[in-house]
Amino acid sequence: MKPIVFWFDFGSPYGYLMAERIGDLAAAHGRTVQWRPILLFAVLRQLELPAPMAHAAKRDYLLLDFDRSARHLGVAYRHPSRFPVISPLPARLFQVLAQRDEWAAVAFARAALQAAFQHDQPLDDADYLGALAARFDSRDAATLLQEAQADAARAALAASIEDAVRQQVFGSPFVQIDGEPFFGADRLPQIEARLSGCLAPAHRE
Amino acid sequence: MKPIVFWFDFGSPYGYLMAERIGDLAAAHGRTVQWRPILLFAVLRQLELPAPMAHAAKRDYLLLDFDRSARHLGVAYRHPSRFPVISPLPARLFQVLAQRDEWAAVAFARAALQAAFQHDQPLDDADYLGALAARFDSRDAATLLQEAQADAARAALAASIEDAVRQQVFGSPFVQIDGEPFFGADRLPQIEARLSGCLAPAHRE
């Protein structure tokens, strides 16, 4: 069976919530997950959609709902003191690790998301992020950070963003199961029902 | 205890899904529900927010998700052949019925939403809507339709829209439990957890 595709932005609170759950949920149903970091602002700009926090009314609600949704899922959450989170560096480091070992990249992604949304660690801190990435790779932090600025990592991330635009990935998290799209951490119950066969595949109208 | 406030637009598929569930859910926890129809396009215009279906990428997703969310909740759903649904007439008829009997207005609202989202009945059909409203009121259909065009019904609906703008009700359905906002039919599990005491009240950051 094809892997479940999980699109996320490293700065997205709901993306973090999904990241804490999707791997175990997929494994429980014999499926693997392909993790695809994007820069959501770049995708939304190309899709001509507004950013989720752009309007005051929605921003107030989201600030309340991030924490509530985490409590509802039983996931630890501490809202970053600097928000929005600046996410290009971890997205590029992910690509650098994935060039050698996809699962190392996923382990790094989980650690970076937990750093941001449990431990208030800024994700644009190169010293911190380089050291974190080096825990999952045989290359040292300085080399990994250098690679993250190189053309290959930039091109890989740009390709993911292009794929996301083409596939209308208009938010984070965005999950695809055999092509069927699920937007938002609040779709976890439907994803579980879909994987366990309680919910039939959806077809576009 | 104060009633749970349930804001909805008669043309909103997710509003219909919430309408099918919120009354029983509240009653199971000893609470009542105040139903407040609005015209979402008017609220969003004043809040300077785009309509949910304004962008093609989101529209395609929503058309798939309406039906899937209904199946997940076990609620009957047939997508209206004319969409978006034109909703001012049922919103005004609701006000006319509510002037005399709030529960008659709620019963009418449930019937009108089911007409739209189960039986493909257009909600701008005055003959149909007048007859439907008359089932819940001692006045005849012609009188109710006349009242729906009168100043009192228009003013009551306008006041609800103003209240919604002031309280940042930026979507349909939008539920408030003791002031805490829950946006979307996908917040039903959190609403249930909140009412049963499994989820503590949220406070704004």
Torsion region of A178: left, alpha or beta (phi above 0 gives left; psi -120 to 50 gives alpha): left
Residue B202 lies inside a defined structural domain of this protein: no
| B4-8: strand order across its sheet | B33-37, B4-8, B174-177, B180-183
CA distances from B153 to A189, B16, B87, B114, B143 (A): 40, 22, 14, 23, 13
A107–chain B nearest CA distance, Å:
30
The pLDDT confidence band at residue B83, using thresholds 50, 70 and 90, is very high
Q: In this complex, is the C-beta atom of A78 within 8 Å of any C-beta atom belonging to chain B?
A: no
Domain for residue A181, yes or no? yes
Domain for residue B53, yes or no? yes
B108-138: per-residue pLDDT in tens? 999 999 999 999 999 999 999 999 999 999 9
Quote ipTM for the complex: 0.94
Tell me which residue range forms the domain holding B121. 4-195
With respect to residue A205, please indicate whether it lies within any of the assigned structural domains. Answer: no
Residue A47 near residue B57, CB atoms below 8 Å: yes
The CATH number of residue A65's host domain is 3.40.30.10
Chain B residues within an 8 Å CB radius of A186: 184, 186-187
* Residue B141 forms part of a structural domain: yes
- Residues in chain A within 8 Å Cβ distance of B71: 199-200
DSSP letter for B39, please: -
Contact B55 A71 (CB under 8 A): no
Number of structural domains found in chain A: 1
Residue B205 has pLDDT above 60, yes or no: no
Domain assignment present for A119: yes
Task: State the Cα–Cα distance between residues A80 and B116, nearest whole angstrom.
Answer: 43
Q: A204 lies in a domain?
A: no
Encoded tokens for A61 = 């609600």
Q: What is the dihedral of CA B55, B58, B64, B67, to 10 degrees?
A: -90
CB contact under 8 A, B64 and A205: yes
The answer as to whether A200 is a domain residue is no
**B60 contact residues in A (CB cutoff 8 A):** 168, 204
**Residue B50 at interface with chain A, using a CB cutoff of 8 Å:** yes
Percentages helix, strand, coil for chain A (3-state, rounded to 5) are 55, 10, 35
- pTM, 2 dp: 0.96
Q: Which pLDDT score is estimated for A53? A: 84
- Which of helix, strand or coil describes residue B34? strand
A55/B170 touch (CB, cutoff 8 Å), yes or no: yes
A14 HSE (CA, 13 A, CB side): 22
Q: pLDDT 10s digit of each residue in chain A, 205 long? A: 899 999 999 999 999 999 999 999 999 999 999 999 999 999 999 999 988 888 888 999 999 999 999 999 999 999 999 999 999 999 999 999 999 999 999 999 999 999 999 999 999 999 999 999 999 999 999 999 999 999 999 999 999 999 999 999 999 999 999 999 999 999 999 999 999 999 999 975 4
